[in-house]
């Protein structure tokens, strides 16, 4: 009784699906529309309605899409840059805050009232909203001559407190910019996607017709993979 084995010539099929990025699709459309007016291609495709006006219309839509895509890329980059600036600024503020809190925890280890006023026994929260409240209250409470007279002995001076308060104000301004840039990026993405959704079906229809009517050499000129034999 023989055993069943896989034939050595059997090859497991794998998907050949290739995800195209938007930029790749735009590049393909540009090649197709730029070459659609070549005489040898145009003379065939015009018979099914792809006249000069129709081709020009698709090219105009593509130019608009290219501009909208560039705008979307810029707006997204601006948002990312603002977020990077925010993260760096927050980390700098938090580092100083942790050092100053550590100094005051030692200084006020026996001063229950000061510890309670400055919330020195609370953990530094990870959530931004809670962190912002804690750190803001800390520096507001420190803006007190009697308290500063004590904290200055370990380097937490009025100047240091003001520097941190200003840094927090700057951080809020960056946060507002992130919100604005985020809105701009969302708007730019929506405009680009609408333009793409209007144009891409026109392109795919042209491709389908071309594959039926054109020989392989002309399809290659349009950037289209030749029909399988």
What is the spatial distance between Cα 93 and Cα 138, in angstroms, rounded to a whole number? 13
pLDDT of residue 82: 96
What is the spatial distance between Cα 139 and Cα 69, in angstroms, rounded to a whole number? 45
The position carrying tokens 């333009």 is 195
Would you list the domain boundaries of the chain?
22-221
Q: What is the pLDDT along the chain (229 residues), one digit of tens a residue?
A: 444 444 333 334 433 444 579 999 999 999 999 999 999 999 999 999 999 999 999 999 999 999 999 999 999 999 999 999 999 999 999 999 999 999 999 999 999 999 999 999 999 999 999 999 999 999 999 989 999 999 999 999 999 999 999 999 999 999 999 999 999 999 999 999 999 999 999 999 999 999 999 999 999 999 998 765 4
pLDDT of residue 227: 63
Complete DSSP assignment for 134-159: HHHHHHHHH--HHHHHHHGGGT--HH
* Cut 0.85: pTM above it: no
pLDDT of residue 20: 76
What is the spatial distance between Cα 28 and Cα 34, in angstroms, rounded to a whole number? 10
- Residues 6 or more apart from 94 whose CB is under 8 A from it? 124, 131, 135
């Amino acid at each position: 009784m023989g055993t069943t084995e896989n034939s050595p010539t059997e090859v497991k099929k794998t998907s050949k699906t290739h995800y195209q990025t938007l930029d790749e699709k735009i590049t393909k459309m540009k090649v197709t529309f730029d070459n659609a007016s070549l005489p040898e291609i145009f003379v065939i495709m015009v018979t099914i309605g792809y006249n000069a006006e129709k081709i020009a219309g698709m090219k105009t839509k593509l130019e608009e899409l290219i501009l909208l895509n560039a705008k979307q890329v810029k707006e997204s980059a601006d948002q990312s840059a603002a977020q990077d600036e925010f993260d760096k600024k927050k980390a700098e503020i938090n580092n100083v805050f942790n050092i100053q809190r550590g100094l005051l925890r030692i200084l006020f280890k026996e001063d229950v009232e000061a510890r309670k006023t400055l919330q020195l026994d609370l953990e530094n929260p990870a959530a931004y909203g809670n962190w912002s409240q804690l750190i803001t209250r800390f520096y507001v409470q420190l803006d007190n001559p009697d308290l500063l007279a004590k904290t200055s002995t370990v380097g937490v001076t009025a100047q240091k407190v003001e520097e941190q308060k200003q840094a927090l104000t700057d951080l809020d301004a960056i946060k507002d910019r992130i919100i604005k840039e985020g809105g701009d990026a969302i708007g730019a993405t929506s405009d680009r996607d609408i333009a793409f959704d209007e144009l891409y079906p026109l392109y795919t229809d042209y491709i389908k017709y071309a594959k039926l009517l054109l020989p392989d050499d002309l399809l290659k000129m349009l950037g289209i993979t030749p029909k399988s034999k």
